[in-house]
Chain A
């Protein structure tokens, strides 16, 4: 299982979602991705994206201006999908 970070600071939605989607495509089921964002819209968009694709939204924490959103890649995910 891998744990990766993705810097999506200063990007406005939907760009953090697009970056997350593209990075997750390279990951495998069970991997963890932490997305660091500054757009508060990502707090609803990334979990929504995760739910519809069968990934697990683990949580979101705010650290100063950063919002860190953690997602576990879903069990049905196929690398490259």
Chain B
């Protein structure tokens, strides 16, 4: 045993990686954290945008975890590289558009690269908060060695929370860490983790029900597939996937969809896109900002305006004035009769 050994931890912001780090710190291992931003991370965005969440405590859970543990955290933008993981997952998708096993391999591989790039810091191994059987795909026992092998981490990948259920890794064999002081957690039951958190005195940690990725969300995945189908291409940019997190998405025709803000926070957020997209909002009544994604014909402006009018305070008015603005052009005024709720077919909602 020696306190000179150093590990890099994958920090998601959830409880498991927090526990894994503390288990290592208890053995005198120095730890620094890394966190990857794919563009699909649940962290931050929705509560930054939406009004009703603005009173909630705002924090990035990965940073919060790092601060609680007293470790450095390096946040790495992997938006571009992640596209290949999402579009071409070797091991396929989970129940939605979540390529969980490929994602885990990718992140551990990135950690291996990061360790090499920062070799002067002298990191010896990598840790994760994985627990066998906790997630249906990426954390199956048979997939644990797949992650270690395909990431290139091999036996320098240690999972402190379930290590006793797995063959000893190099840090254990070499005596850098004591295997006896690691854990044998398995399955979806969270009680052992909660008990360990209590033992460590952790409070206020995050336990998001759906994990930390929008791709595990059914509604989000449907919107993503709709986006790809409408563009006839699976290419995407950060703005595309950010906009899927915002507003009501209504596609009255194959060629375009409306993204209609649900509150003032989202309206403000969509205003930032007015230089890139056609935008609409009611001027005779209070109402939401909306943008149009796709190609809309001039003859469809009244239809788009009547849908937007339906979501403002003029929804029961005979007519609503709606301003439509194309990027870099002067606004046009359209008078629209708000659609009745019953007249918005369910199949228009993405």
Chain A residues in the interface with B (C-beta under 8 A): 10, 12-15, 17-18, 21, 38-41, 43-45, 48-49, 51-53
Interface locus among B64-72, B100-108, B190-198, B323-331: B64-72
Q: B308-329 CB contact bits vs A (8 Å, 1 = yes)? A: 0000000000000000000000
Chain A residues in 8 Å Cβ range of B48: 12-13, 39-41
If A10-B272, A12-B45, A15-B37 touch, whether A41 touches B58 (CB-CB below 8 Å) is yes
Closest 6 CB pairs of A and B: A13-B44, A48-B63, A41-B48, A45-B60, A41-B58, A39-B48
Q: B99-128 CB contact bits vs A (8 Å, 1 = yes)? A: 000000000000000000000000000000
B135 within 8 Å of A (CB atoms): no
Partner pick for B58 among A15, A17, A43, CB 8 A cutoff? A43
CA distance A3 to B259 in the complex (A): 40
Asked if B77 contacts A13 (CB within 8 A), the reply is no
Least CB distance from A62 to B in Å reads 14
Chain B residues in 8 Å Cβ range of A43: 58
Within 8 A of A (CB), among B13-60: 35, 37, 41, 43-45, 47-49, 54, 57-60
Asked if A17 contacts B67 (CB within 8 A), the reply is no
Could you list 18 A-B pairs, sorted by A, with CB under 8 Å?
Answer: A12-B44, A12-B49, A13-B43, A13-B44, A13-B45, A13-B48, A14-B41, A14-B60, A14-B63, A15-B37, A17-B60, A40-B58, A41-B44, A48-B63, A49-B63, A49-B75, A51-B67, A52-B73
Asked if A41 contacts B47 (CB within 8 A), the reply is yes
CA distance A10 to B59 in the complex (A): 18
Least CB distance from A14 to B in Å reads 5
- Size band of the interface chain B makes with A: 20 to 34
CA distance A15 to B79 in the complex (A): 11
Partner pick for B60 among A10, A40, A48, A51, CB 8 A cutoff? A48
Given contacts A13-B43, A52-B67, 11 further A-B contacts (CB under 8 A): A12-B45, A12-B242, A14-B62, A15-B77, A17-B63, A18-B75, A44-B59, A45-B58, A45-B59, A52-B70, A52-B73
B207 within 8 Å of A (CB atoms): no
Chain B residues in the interface with A (C-beta under 8 A): 35, 37, 41, 43-45, 47-49, 54, 57-60, 62-64, 66-67, 70-77, 242, 272
Chain A residues in 8 Å Cβ range of B66: 48, 52
Chain A residues in 8 Å Cβ range of B242: 12
Partner pick for A17 among B64, B72, B75, CB 8 A cutoff? B75
Closest to B68 in A: A52
Chain A residues in 8 Å Cβ range of B71: 52
CA distance A39 to B63 in the complex (A): 16
Partner pick for B67 among A12, A39, A48, CB 8 A cutoff? A48
Chain A residues in 8 Å Cβ range of B43: 13-14
Least CB distance from B267 to A in Å reads 13
Chain B residues in 8 Å Cβ range of A41: 44, 47-48, 58-60
Closest to A47 in B: B63
Asked if A48 contacts B64 (CB within 8 A), the reply is yes
If A40-B54, A41-B48 touch, whether A13 touches B74 (CB-CB below 8 Å) is no
